[in-house]
Copies of this chain bind each other. A is one copy, B any other.
Amino acid sequence: MNELKKVITLKDLWDARATLPTPIGLVPTMGFLHEGHLSLVKRARSELASVVVSIFVNPTQFAPTDDLNAYPRDLERDIALLEKAGANLLWMPTPEIMYPPDYQTWVNVDKITKPLEGKKRPGHFRGVTTIVAKLFNAIQPQVAYFGQKDAQQVAVIKQMVRDLNMPIEIIASPIIRERDGLAMSSRNTYLNPAERQAALVLSKSLEAAKSAYQNGERNAQILRVKMEEVINAEPLARLEYISCADYDQLNEIEKIEKKTLLSMAVYIGKTRLIDNEVLG
């Protein structure tokens, strides 16, 4: 079993950080860890000298109507999983440490935050980029690992890192799925058994579009319609958006010519799920 050092305050973090061998990898999380998170920790462990994990349910990336208070937590289980996965240092700051009373600084990424998730969740990416900048500054990793499931988040963070000259490599790791195809997410815990079954429409619709692509289909609208048909056939599902966009800047396209992101947000009952697939 690996020894996992746990810290809360910024001072304790900096003291512990100073003793870690470099290069250091960071895996930022909101806790309630699943195999997706752990695959990032294990990958970082195999590639770098030290792995730091942060657990912080960041209030500024939730809208007032979002599930901040309901967001699932199980710190004891998370710690046991991180020890097993080989993390070296866990930072669990409180909201008061991250956002003291006179807090007033925000990192904004413009264009690439506008479509998809940014359109449906105003303010979400301002919260994400601000907290990730804070984590990067506080921990100073050489590499940071993110799950490809939040594909737009990865694109936004890469843009921020490039724009702000941060000396950090961003690695996106593939989506980890349950055996039946459902993308792993802490929010899957909200689903009742019927919803859990219905939630398969996300990965199924992506499979349908991917299969059409592999058979030579390059018309983006035809792929969107194929995905929509699968989602709409499921009574418990309500489509929020479906997208076929260029991978780098996330603009909707007509014809698939280079690396492309298929993505979607779907409500299953009251639970909002996202999923995506990269083509090309």
Task: List A residues at the B interface (Cβ < 8 Å).
Answer: 10, 14, 102-112, 129-130, 133-135, 137-138, 140, 159-160, 163-167, 249
- A104-B159, A159-B104 known; A165 and B109 CB under 8 Å? no
Contact in complex: B104, A106 (CB < 8 Å): no
With beta carbons under 8 angstroms apart, the residue of B14, B133, B163 that contacts A103 is B163
Residues of B within 8 A of A159 (CB): 102, 104-105
Residues of B within 8 A of A108 (CB): 105-108
Q: Please state the number of chain copies in the assembly.
A: 2
Q: How far is the CA of A10 from the CA of B104 in the complex (A)?
A: 29
Residue in chain B with minimal CB distance to A17: B167
Given contacts A104-B110, A104-B112, A104-B159, 4 further A-B pairs with CB under 8 A are A104-B163, A105-B109, A105-B164, A134-B165
Residues of B within 8 A of A130 (CB): 164
Q: Identify the interface centre among A106, A129, A165: most chain B CB within 10 Å of its CB.
A: A165
- A137-B165, A165-B134 known; A107 and B107 CB under 8 Å? yes
Residue in chain B with minimal CB distance to A133: B164
Closest 4 CB pairs of A and B: A105-B163, A104-B110, A138-B165, A137-B165
Q: Identify the interface centre among A105, A135, A249: most chain B CB within 10 Å of its CB.
A: A105
Q: How far is the CA of A107 from the CA of B107 in the complex (A)?
A: 5
Contact in complex: B104, A134 (CB < 8 Å): no
Q: Identify the interface centre among A104, A110, A129, A130: most chain B CB within 10 Å of its CB.
A: A104
Residue in chain B with minimal CB distance to A166: B137
Q: How far is the CA of A111 from the CA of B108 in the complex (A)?
A: 16
Q: How far is the CA of A10 from the CA of B165 in the complex (A)?
A: 8
Q: How far is the CA of A159 from the CA of B100 in the complex (A)?
A: 12
Residues of B within 8 A of A140 (CB): 140, 167
> Distance (Å) between the CB of A20 and the closest chain B CB?
14
Q: How far is the CA of A166 from the CA of B135 in the complex (A)?
A: 10
Residues of B within 8 A of A103 (CB): 163
Residues of B within 8 A of A160 (CB): 105
